[in-house]
Amino acid sequence: MGEFDAIDALLAAAKQEIPLPPAAERRSLREELNLSRAQLAKAMGVGASTVGGWESGRDPSGEVREKYAYFLEGARTKLDAAAAAEAPADDPGPGDDGPAEADQAVGTDDDDVLPAPRPCVLCGQPARHQVEGFPQHLDPAECGTAGPAQPAKPTPRTEPRQPAPAGRQSRAASDVKDVKVVPVGRRVQAASDTPDLIGSAVAAALAQHAGDVEAATAALVKRAIPDAMALLDDTRKGGRYDIVAHPWLPDILRKQTARGADQIWEARPKWTRPELPTGRHEVTALDINGAYLSALKTHLPIGRLEHSTGNHHDRRRAGVHLITPPAWDHDACLPNPIGNRDEPGPLWVTEPTLRLLLRVSGPKYGLCDPPEIHESWTSGATESLLEKFRVALKDARDRAIAEDDDVTLEYVKQMYSKFVSTLGESNYNRELYRTDWMHLIRSQAFVNLWWKAHRAYDEGLMVVRAMGTDELHVTGDWRAVFPEGRGVTEVKVKDVYTVGTGPDQPPQPPESPS
């Protein structure tokens, strides 16, 4: 009889499959939530093409079907709620926990009060309300996960959604922190397990000086150059290209006399607007954070520079070029891309300056004529040669800012700035004699500043000065254009001063670009 029992149990377990909406609606539901197939697939634990199949008519079955039905149901609830109430102030905002929690539309009818507190599905803390049978906090401020990190945004729905961490089995997972992994050989390793050269150096210095911050900083500053070179070697492990440290260099890259300069023009901006409109202007001096750190991402020649002639630019190569610069007619509102050069005639410029000139002379901007290239010393180039080095320094810098760690911050700053300044024929760093890289990286910083000036101009601010590596003076509402902060993509205020006399002038509309 046992056999029949088993069959009875099977029949009892076989229930009606959950109905799914038609295929076209599945797709529109997902797209209206601004979710990509890949994001949804990751949350469901299937491939992106499988989701594509479901959306074009195939039907999932089993456990996956239940999950998919749950997603579609939640998505519809959320969209209905958003359509009903245009004030989504209660929405926990982006980055809460991904598409699986798409039914976060609280403040609708289907949430009710629980008789006894039950653990919240988001943060695990006791909650007094439930939505569709899932206990949770209605106020994001109470919820431990989404609350404190999410300031109320007026339009949270338009923000890109973070995909849920893969492999999550239940919604009740209390830990929401992703683990950053890096490839090591054939496996991946948690980023925290790989040796952190910067962190360990700082910890060792602090331990050696018994927590004396000033002494530790001084000791770290002293060893910044060799440490930067060690970090560079470490980040090049497994890289495709060797770093050639002592190449043969053409004469234009050699100093003419012991204290003289070589023939390369780095296009350092030193520009002041000739005249301001009448009235009183409040000028803000902005400082670009970590200008040289960002400039490490540039097209660098890998091997020995080779000579070529002719007016032709190969995008896969980088180096220095002898060009005749085009005339610049916008000196009244924008700095000249080749900087403040008095001497006419051909000059040796670097790759970033040439690319800038070619770009602004192109059809999109059309600000000047294309430059005429006479000769070039170039080599095959890559943008990723120093990329891991830059990212390692940037991550350490971000972490130091977040943790308010002045020792690491100063150490990192010394590492990248001294790395750039001793890259050439410096006696303080004899491991690397790449004068060409030094010029290219500096020029890239100046080019980045030029683009910032152009962006300010494009957005309707008035650019007053662009000078040095990282200083930009503007008038107008710059906070709408540049985010303020300490990250490398943000700017900080150096100085605020007023120019001119008379009544306050409202921000000028931009002069129409020619």
Partner 1 sequence: MPERNIEFGKYGARGIKGHEAVARQLDALAGYIATPVTARRGLLARLHYLTRTDHARTAARQAGLTVTARTLRAWLAGTRSPSRRNLERIEQAYRTVRRENVARYLLARLNREGRGTRVEIHPLNQSQVDRPRQRAVEFRTMNVRRWDRIVAAWAVGDDQGLDDAWVDQVVDLGSQWGQYEYVTNVGFAA
Please report which residue ranges of 283-350 form alpha helices under DSSP H.
291-295
Q: Which amino acid is at 427?
A: N
Report in angstroms how near the CB of residue 226 gets to partner 1 at its nearest: 11
Assign 3-state DSSP to the chain and report helix, strand, coil percentages, each to 5: 35, 20, 50
| SS3 state at 378 | strand
Closest to partner 1 by CB, 4 vs 248, is 248
Task: Evaluate whether 496 touches 477 at the Cβ level (below 8 Å).
Answer: no
d(C-alpha 171, C-alpha 110), whole Å: 19
86-125: contacts with partner 1 (CB under 8 A): none
Would you count residue 254 as binding partner 1 (CB under 8 A)?
no
d(C-alpha 307, C-alpha 250), whole Å: 9
d(C-alpha 159, C-alpha 351), whole Å: 37
- Beta-bridged to residue 324, according to DSSP, are 372
Question: HSE on the CB side for 258, CA within 13 Å?
Answer: 1
Site track for partner 1 across 258-287, x = CB under 8 A: x-----------------------------
430-449: contacts with partner 1 (CB under 8 A): 430-431, 433
Number of residues engaging partner 1 in binding (CB under 8 A): 14
Closest to partner 1 by CB, 158 vs 257, is 257
Stretch that binds partner 1, among 93-101, 265-273, 275-283, 428-436 (CB under 8 A): 428-436
d(C-alpha 131, C-alpha 391), whole Å: 42
Would you count residue 246 as binding partner 1 (CB under 8 A)?
yes
Site track for partner 1 across 387-426, x = CB under 8 A: ----------------------------------------
In the numeric block, which tokens belong to residue 195?
């040796």
Closest to partner 1 by CB, 142 vs 425, is 425
Would you count residue 303 as binding partner 1 (CB under 8 A)?
yes
Q: Which amino acid is at 222?
A: K
d(C-alpha 394, C-alpha 384), whole Å: 15
Closest to partner 1 by CB, 117 vs 303, is 303
| SS3 state at 246 | coil
Closest to partner 1 by CB, 222 vs 246, is 246
**Binding test (CB under 8 A) with partner 1, winner from 49, 155, 257, 512:** 257
**Binding test (CB under 8 A) with partner 1, winner from 5, 242, 275, 404:** 242
Interface residue list for partner 1 (CB under 8 A): 242, 244-248, 257-258, 303-304, 306, 430-431, 433
